[in-house]
Amino acid sequence: MSLKAVIRGCGMYLPEKIVSNSNEDLSKTIDTSDEWIRERTGIHERRVAAEGEYTSDLAVRAAKAALQSASLQASDIDLVIIATTTPDLTFPSTAAIVQAKLGVEQGAAFDIQAVCTGFIYALSTAEKFLICGQHKRALVIGAETFSRILDWSDRSTCVLFGDGAGAFVLEAQAEEQAENRGVIGSYLRCDGRMVDLLYVDGGVSSSQTTGHVRMQGNKVFREAVNRISQAMEHVMEEAGISVKDVDWFVPHQANERIIQGVVKKLDLRSEQVISTIAKQGNTSAASIPLAYCAGVADGRIKQGDLVLLEAMGGGLTWGAALLRA
Ligand code: ACO
C-alpha cells in the first residue's frame, strides 16, 4: 500500500513581548534606526520570550494548537520532531521534553539541527518515517528562542531575529484516502565550506559556552536568491509541477528583499507570498510553520492548494518542499 504524509492540522505560538524598531526599543540601545531596518529587511518588530519561557514551552503551545486543529489527542502521536537551534538543554533533545510536557507516551522523539532550514529538514524526515509505515502520526515543530543567542550589542544581527514556534500534525494516509493531499517532495542541501558566513561562536565541545550568532550578512545575502531558487526549481521539476500550478509560496522569513528576489526570479506573483516578516522578524526554524499557519488562519491556504516552501540558513543549509494542503 502506498502512503502519503498528509497535513492534518497546524498551530502556532508567539511570545507576548514585542520589541519594535522604534526609539523606545532597539534604536535606544544600539546605533540603528527604524528606517534602516525596515528598508534593508522589511522587519518592523519581533517577539521575545519571557524570562523562564523556554523553547519547549513555545513548542508545546504550538503543538497543542496543531493537535486541536487536527481534532487529535497527544495519545494519537507516535513521532515528535523538533527543528531548533536553541534547545532548552544540551541534552536531552527538546523533542523529548516536549513529548513529556504534551503527555505523548509512545513512539520516538528527536531534534533536527539545520538552523533556519530546520523545518524543511524536519518535514522531509517526518515524511520518510510516515510513508515507510514506521510511524503513523508526527508532530513536526519549528521552535526557537533565538533571542537567547543574540549579541544585543551587535546591530548587524540582533535586529533580525525573533522567537516563536509553529507546528504541523502529519498523518500517514493511504494514497486513495489522501486524495492527492500531503507532502509531494523535498530537496535538502548543505555546503559546510561556508560555515564562516553564519555560525555561533560557542559550543559544548569547543568553548563550553553557548556563544552568539555571528554573520557576514551581505555574503549570505549574495548566496541566497540563486540557491533558494535552484532548490525550488528542483523540487518542482522532480514532481512534474510548473510554477504556474503553485497557489502559495511560504518562504523562510529572513529578509523581505530575499523573498522578493526569489519571487522575481521564479516569476511568482507577490500576492502568492505568505509573509510574516514585518511583525515576527526571522524566527529561524519556526518561520515557515508560523507563516503557513497565518495563511491557513486567514483563509488564504485552503485544502487542496499547492504550496511551495523554501529556506536557507547556517551551514550553509538550504532546501525546498512542495505539498498539497
Ligand atoms: N542599523 C544601521 N546600520 C547597520 C545595521 C543596523 N542594524 N546593521 C548593519 N549596518 C551597517 C553596516 O555596519 C554597514 O555599514 P558600513 O557601510 O559603514 O560598513 C552598512 O549598514 C551595510 O551593511 P551590509 O551588511 O552590507 O547591509 P545589507 O544591505 O547586506 O543588509 C542584512 C544586512 C539585512 C543582514 C542582509 O545582508 C541580509 O538579510 N542577509 C541575509 C541574512 C540571511 O538570510 N541569513 C540566513 C538565515 S539566518 C540563520 O540561518 C540563522
Question: What residues form DSSP beta bridges with 168?
Answer: 10, 140
- Say if ligand 1 is within 6 A of residue 228 CB: no
Say how many Å lie between the CA of residue 123 and the centre of ligand 1: 29
- Order of strands, sheet of 182-190, starting from the edge strand that comes earlier in the sequence: 182-190, 317-324, 306-313, 248-251
Q: What is the Cα Rg of the chain in Å?
A: 18
Q: Write the residue with the smallest CA distance to atom 12 of ligand 1.
A: 156
**CA-CA-CA-CA torsion sign (310, 250, 214, 52):** negative
CATH code: domain 3-178 is: 3.40.47.10
* Residue 325 reports pLDDT greater than 90: yes
Name the band, by pLDDT with cuts 50, 70 and 90, for residue 27: confident
Segment 151-180 shows an average pLDDT of 97
Mean pLDDT of 19-32: 91
Q: Check the CA dihedral 15-16-21-27 and report its sign.
A: negative
Task: Please tell me the residue having the least CA distance from ligand 1 atom 39.
Answer: 255
Average pLDDT over residues 108-121: 98
Indicate if the pLDDT at residue 23 is higher than 90.
no
156 lines ligand 1 (CB under 6 A): yes
**What pLDDT, on a 0 to 100 scale, did the predictor assign at position 107?**
98
pLDDT at 216: 96
Indicate the fold that domain 182-324 takes in CATH. Peroxisomal Thiolase; Chain A, domain 1 (3.40.47)
Instruction: Indicate the pTM of the whole model.
Output: 0.97
> pLDDT confidence of 1, banded at 50, 70, 90?
confident
**Distances from the Cα of 84 to the Cα of 92, 136, 144, 161, 262, angstroms:** 13, 23, 6, 14, 25
The SS3 call for residue 26 is: helix
Domain 182-324 in the same topology as domain 3-178: yes
pLDDT, residue 100, reads: 98
The CA 218 to ligand 1 mean position distance, Å, reads 6
**pLDDT class of 256 with cuts at 50, 70, 90:** very high
Model confidence at 135, in pLDDT bands (50, 70, 90)? very high
pLDDT tens-digit profile of 181-215? 999 999 999 999 999 999 999 999 999 999 999 99
CB atoms near residue 16 (< 10 Å): 9
pLDDT over 70 percentage in the chain: 100
Q: What is the mean pLDDT of residues 55-71?
A: 98
Contact criterion met (CB below 8 Å) for 12 and 165: yes
Contact 142, 311 (CB under 8 A): no
Contacts of 184 (CB under 8 A, 6+ apart): 239, 241, 322, 323, 324
pLDDT at 297 over 90: yes
What is the pLDDT of the chain when averaged over all its residues? 97
Cα angle 231, 41, 32 (rounded to 5 degrees) comes to: 145
Helices (H), the chain: 26-29, 34-41, 55-69, 94-102, 118-131, 155-158, 175-178, 217-239, 256-266, 277-280, 287-297
- Does ligand 1 have an atom closer than 6 angstroms to the CB of 314? yes
Residue of 236, 282, 234 whose CA lies nearest to 259: 282
- Rounded to a whole number, what is the distance in angstroms from the first to the last CA of the chain? 22
Residue 259 has pLDDT above 90, yes or no: yes
Q: Which atom of ligand 1 is nearest to the CA of 254?
A: 44
Mutate to test the pocket of ligand 1, among 25, 116, 156, 282 (most ligand atoms within 8 A of CB): 156
Query: Ligand 1 within 6 A of 36 CB?
Result: yes
Predicted pLDDT of residue 5? 98
Nearest CA to ligand 1 atom 32: 217
- Is the C-beta atom of 224 inside 6 A of ligand 1? yes
> What are the catalytic residues?
116, 252, 282
- Classified as helix, coil or strand, 104 is coil
Please answer whether residues 178 and 314 qualify as being in contact, where contact means their C-beta atoms are separated by less than 8 angstroms: no
User: Which cell goes with 35?
Assistant: 528606517
Give strand pairing partners of 137: 171
Q: Which residues contact 168 (CB under 8 A, 6 or more apart)?
A: 7, 9, 10, 66, 123, 139, 140, 141, 289, 292
Residues contacting residue 34 through CB under 8 Å, at least 6 positions apart: 20, 21, 22, 23, 27, 44
pLDDT(24) > 90 = no
> pLDDT category, 227, cuts 50, 70, 90?
very high
From the CB of 284, is ligand 1 less than 6 Å away?
A: yes
Residue 272's identity, in one-letter code, is: Q
Residue 61 pLDDT more than 90?
A: yes
- Those residues whose C-beta lies under 8 Å from the C-beta of residue 23, and which sit 6 or more positions away, are 34
Cell of 64: 497543542
Question: What is the structure's pLDDT at 156?
Answer: 96
Whether pLDDT at 28 is above 90: no
Domain ranges of the chain: 3-178, 182-324
For 298, phi then psi, to 5°, come to -95, 10
